Chain A
Amino acid sequence: MQAALAMAPMTAEVSADVSLAAKGDRRAFERLYQAHVNRVYTLCSRMAGSTARGEELTQDVFVRTWEKLPQFRGESAFSTWLHRLAVNVVLNARKIDGRAASRTDDADPGGETRAELAHAPFHIERMDLQNAIANLPAGARRIFVLHDVEGYKHDEIGEMCGITAGGSKAQLHRARMLLREALDR
């Protein structure tokens, strides 16, 4: 499976807006934002395990998109390109948030995350699975989201995260086991 965002065809409207936005047309870029913001926000929030962080990262993604748009050559669909860029922004932000990441990478998530998610303004039902994913340790959560939610393959994840495909597979297994344990409670 590949993420719907990444697989969305590039319509003529999107293509025109991409071209205009690359030349500095902010209105065209706003249309691209409106068309893709939910997907990007979903990816960012799930990977970060926090809707608040997801908002910040979403903004970073679109600012970065604006900066990089002139380099978009149309070799892939815009949505695919945007999705990959979003993943890179989130993964790079992890390095910036190094201390927080190291705190959550190998330890059980703290009550802070749970408390935040308890009041998370998700516009869907608070699904057990969604909350359980958010409460995964950061490393396992990223791999789970990229593989099981977004549909990336282990070798792609390994390349993006700077780990081996085997490492990605091991983290995914760990995430699934932790999720099962959490959902069985």
Chain B
Amino acid sequence: MTWMNLSCDRVEALLPDYLEGEMEARLRTSLQAHVADCPRCSGLIEGVESIVAGARTLPELVPPRDLWGGIEHSIRAPVLALAPDRHKRLVVLPVRAAAAAAALVIATASITYLMTVRISTAHVASTASTQAPAQAELPNPSSAGVLDSGSVATGAPVSASNPSERESPIRARVQVRVAGAATGDSRPARTITQYAGNSAELPQTDAAYSGEIALLQKMVSSRMSLLDPVTVQVIEKNLRVIDEAIQQSRSALAKDPASSLLYDQLNRVLDKKVELLRTAVQLPSST
């Protein structure tokens, strides 16, 4: 078999194929002949071969700390179901995710419900307190029975004084609660006065939402690296817009703490934030 003369540069260029064993016999012989007479190239091949051999026997690394805590925290975080949206296709969740989602939906709904009742009750109390005596103005058990699905009871004293209040969802909900409570005993009056003019409800509302939002944000943060970068940018941009709206609502409420409109607005933007974060948590990974 004959062989060709190879330069050192050519040998270096051929090295990958040589080491991979993907070189035709004649060329391999030529390369080996060159290497036999060339200390530089023989050193090169020897060095690379020792690197390859060393790479195969590198020891296993051990994490310097237990990583399970962070993982467990992430996998414990429930995946939330979004409200049905006719524009979105149905997403079927794994059973455990669906169960977790249901649990959190119930929890968040309860929080929102309680906050709504408290905030709203304060407004009704304010209204009721101007109509002495408060207890006498409350609907009696029989009139409470006509209240249905959040609608305003016709002739209910609390709302009858101001028809425009019937248009407010908050007011409507409050009246249902007041009427429902009135079916019991004298406690309704206490319930009303308990929150009357209590502007301290706002921090409680914020705290409830903050806890929910903090949990969701933690979940989203842990998933950011799994999402498409463009999606991450959109989420972050939308969160900034919502945060600005929240800030504006809070500023306005600070100036007009009795405004039900502003409470409602703040609730809505906080709900928006929760909804966006829920969506982000549910997004499929890009891997």
B83 touches A (CB below 8 Å): no
Q: Give chain A residues whose Cβ lies under 8 Å from the Cβ of B55.
A: 129, 133, 144, 148-149
Could you name 16 residue pairs across A and B whose Cβ atoms are closer than 8 Å?
A24-B94, A30-B68, A56-B225, A59-B71, A88-B287, A89-B287, A124-B61, A129-B51, A148-B55, A151-B56, A169-B16, A170-B16, A173-B16, A177-B12, A183-B47, A183-B51
Q: Does B187 contact A (CB under 8 A)?
A: no
In the complex, the answer to whether A149 meets B225 with C-beta atoms within 8 Å is: no
Chain A residues with Cβ below 8 Å from B44 are 180
- The binding surface of chain B is classed by DSSP as helix
Given contacts A176-B52, A180-B44, A180-B51, contact A121 B64 (CB under 8 A): yes
Q: Are the CB atoms of B64 and A123 closer together than 8 Å?
A: yes
> How many A residues face the partner with a CB closer than 8 A?
58
- Any chain A CB within 8 A of the CB of B86? no
CB-nearest residue of chain A to B74 = A63
Contact of A38 among B51, B60, B223 (CB under 8 A): B60
Question: How far is the CB of A98 from the nearest CB of chain B, in Å?
Answer: 7
Query: Which residues of chain A have C-beta atoms less than 8 A from B229's C-beta?
Result: 95-96, 98
Query: Which residues in B have some Cβ–Cβ distance to A below 8 Å?
Result: 12, 15-16, 20, 44, 47-48, 51-52, 54-56, 58-65, 67-68, 70-72, 74-76, 94-96, 222-226, 229, 232, 285-287
Nearest opposing residue in chain A for B70, CB measure: A59
Taking a contact as CB atoms closer than 8 A, the residue among B67, B72, B74, B223 that contacts A55 in the complex is B67
CA distance A121 to B47 in the complex (A): 28
Q: A88-B287, A176-B48 are in contact. Are A127 and B58 (CB under 8 A)?
A: yes
| A-B pair number, CB within 8 angstroms | 126
**8 Å CB contacts to B: which residues of A115-130?**
121-124, 127, 129-130
Flag whether A12 is at the interface (Cβ < 8 A). no
Q: A66's closest neighbor in chain B, by CB?
A: B75
Residues of B within 8 A of A92 (CB): 225-226, 285-287
Given contacts A64-B285, A92-B287, contact A1 B56 (CB under 8 A): yes
Residues of A within 8 A of B (CB): 1, 23-24, 26, 29-30, 33-34, 37-39, 41-42, 45-46, 51, 54-56, 58-60, 62-64, 66-67, 70, 85, 88-89, 92-93, 95-96, 98, 121-124, 127, 129-130, 133, 144, 148-149, 151, 169-170, 172-173, 176-177, 179-180, 183-184
- A148–B58 Cα distance when bound, in Å, is 10
Residues of B within 8 A of A124 (CB): 59, 61
Q: Is the CB of B61 within 8 A of A148?
A: no
Residues from chain B with a CB closer than 8 A to the CB of A66 are 71, 74-75
* Contact across chains for A70 and B94 when beta carbons are under 8 A apart: yes
| Minimal beta-carbon separation of A176 from chain B (angstroms) | 5
A123-B47 contact given A30-B68, A60-B225, A89-B226, CB 8 Å threshold: no
Q: Could you say which of B55, B223, B232, B285 has the most chain A C-beta atoms within 10 Å of its C-beta?
A: B55
Question: Is there an interface contact between A64 and B287, defined as CB atoms closer than 8 Å?
Answer: yes
Contacts of A64 in B (CB 8 A): 226, 285, 287
For A30, the chain B residues whose CB sits under 8 A away are 68, 72
Establish whether residues B225 and A29, one from each chain, have CB atoms under 8 Å apart when the complex forms: no
**Are B60 and A93 in touch, CB under 8 angstroms?**
no
